[in-house]
Amino acid sequence: MKTPMLQMFTVAALALAATTASAKDREVHVYNWSDYIDPTILEDFTKETGIKVVYDVFDDNSLLETKLLAGGSGYDVVVPTGPFLQRQIKAGVYAKLDKSKLTNISNMWPDVMDRLAKYDKGNEHAVNYMWGTTGIGYNVAKIKAVLGDVPIDSWDVIFKPENAAKLKACGLNILDAPDETFAIALNYLKKNPDSKDVADIRAAGEVYSKIRPYARSINSAAYINDLANGDICITIGWSGDILQAKKRATEAKNGVEIKYVIPKEGTYMWFDNLAIPADAKNVAEAHEFINYLMRPEVIAKASNFVQYANGNLASQKFVDKDVLDNPSVYPTKEVMGRLFTISPYEGKSQKEVTSVWTKFKNGR
């Protein structure tokens, strides 16, 4: 992308951006996950700063990644998950954050910053927005009807084919996020969840292909409503998504009771982070927006709304008691010890993961 023609275009675009930015309407283009913020936060931000927020959503890391890699996405703030962040930094997608403009960074949670540094050395490109776990969400009444009065606290509930067969009747969804699902299966098999070994990846794939005949759906967004409506009864899913399904079911008063568990074998811990693409046009506004989200009372409001833990330690005194004390959202120290992270798949291991996962999805 280094042809003179393109450079000329870039200069022209920058000149244009400069003239429009000097006009009174300042803007920031944000690309975040769906159902991931309290909309009033955006309104408050505009009221306070006069910066208009153009807010757009995605439901899949690959969508974000493809837009970023193609270049010229037009976004100023994006929210990639850990391993994706790491690979995108390597591809040269992000600008370094100007820490002098992020005055609220002292509010961040050192433990989360440390874990995030695994993906972004020295925390140079990103700050954490929310973090959570990938566990099991289920419809209490329907699961009791098909499995009987057994405790739901292990991956066995889904991964044992004889159990999965019983779940077929009321609807099982598998989360469509191969990066995480492979790590979870490897951990379940008592192997290293971060293994990039082809034989291990195939072994993890086996876990899923054995239960494939019993899965009603494989998705990473529609399952929130499906669980809330009773269209599915159990799913591998992200903590906050399942708590949102619970909230929607309660609001709809449809009699559906939903629970989330972190299985005792342990599970994947993920981090969604705020970062600024290198080709962002409104860099100053992007920093202002990120800095605003690092205010304790603001990010606490977001956590209360979306039911996810955030990476802001100072915000915890503003987080609702039922969110902060909920071990599904803020796990206990003991459970934290069983949570793991992984590094990104690359080249051969990525091809293997996608190939195994595609075959699994197609039921072959």
Partner 1 sequence: MAETPTSFAKASPSRWLIVTIPYLWLVLFFAAPFFIIFKISLSDTAIAMPPYEPVFEGFASLGDFLSKLDFENYQSLWGDSLYLSAYLSSLRIAAISTLLLLMIGYPMALAMARAPSTIRPTLMMMVILPFWTSFLIRVYAWIGILKPEGLLTAALHAVGLMAPDQQVEIYRTDYAVFIGIVYSYLPFMVLPLYSALEKLDGTLLEAASDLGCPPWKAFWKITFPLSLPGVIAGSMICFIPITGEFVIPDLLGGPETLMIGRTLWVEFFGNRDWPLASAVAVVLLLALVVPIVIFQNQQQKVR
Nearer to partner 1, 87 or 295 (CB): 87
Nearer to partner 1, 343 or 354 (CB): 354
Residues 313-342: x where in contact with partner 1 by CB under 8 A, - otherwise, as a string: ------------------------------
Residue in the block written with tokens 């003179």: 4
Name beta bridge partners: 28.
53
Residue-wise DSSP of 143-170: HHHHH-S----STHHHHSHHHHHHHTTT
351 binds partner 1 (CB under 8 A): yes
Nearer to partner 1, 110 or 347 (CB): 347
346 binds partner 1 (CB under 8 A): yes
- Residue 306 makes CB contacts below 8 A (sequence gap 6+) with 35, 36, 37, 38, 130, 240, 244
Residues 105-134 that bind partner 1 (CB under 8 A): none
Continuous H helices in 103-212: 110-116, 140-147, 156-159, 161-167, 178-188, 198-211
255 binds partner 1 (CB under 8 A): no
Note whether 353 and 182 are within 8 A (CB).
yes
357 binds partner 1 (CB under 8 A): yes
Name beta bridge partners: 213.
none
Nearer to partner 1, 44 or 60 (CB): 60
Nearer to partner 1, 88 or 315 (CB): 88
> Whose CA is closest to 258, among 223, 208, 213?
223
261 binds partner 1 (CB under 8 A): no
Task: Find the binder of partner 1 among 15, 69, 117, 199 (CB under 8 A).
Answer: 69
100 binds partner 1 (CB under 8 A): no
Name beta bridge partners: 218.
174
The Cα–Cα gap between 364 and 359 comes to 5
Name beta bridge partners: 33.
58
230 binds partner 1 (CB under 8 A): yes
Task: Find the binder of partner 1 among 216, 248, 287, 295 (CB under 8 A).
Answer: 216
Question: How far apart are CB 227 and partner 1 at their closest, in Å?
Answer: 12
Task: Find the binder of partner 1 among 90, 96, 317, 348 (CB under 8 A).
Answer: 90
The Cα–Cα gap between 256 and 245 comes to 10
349 binds partner 1 (CB under 8 A): no
363 binds partner 1 (CB under 8 A): yes
Number of residues that bind partner 1 (CB under 8 A): 39
> Whose CA is closest to 340, among 235, 262, 224?
262
> Whose CA is closest to 194, among 177, 207, 180, 210?
180
Following CA atoms 57, 55, 269, 210 in sequence, which dihedral angle do they give, to the nearest 10 degrees? Answer: 0
Task: Name the segment binding partner 1 (CB under 8 A); options: 19-27, 128-136, 227-235, 307-315.
Answer: 227-235
Residues 166-205 that bind partner 1 (CB under 8 A): 171, 178
SS3 268: strand
Question: How far apart are CB 100 and partner 1 at their closest, in Å?
Answer: 27
Interface with partner 1 (CB under 8 A): 1-3, 60, 62-63, 65-66, 68-71, 87, 90-93, 171, 178, 215-218, 229-231, 346-347, 350-351, 354-355, 357-359, 361-364
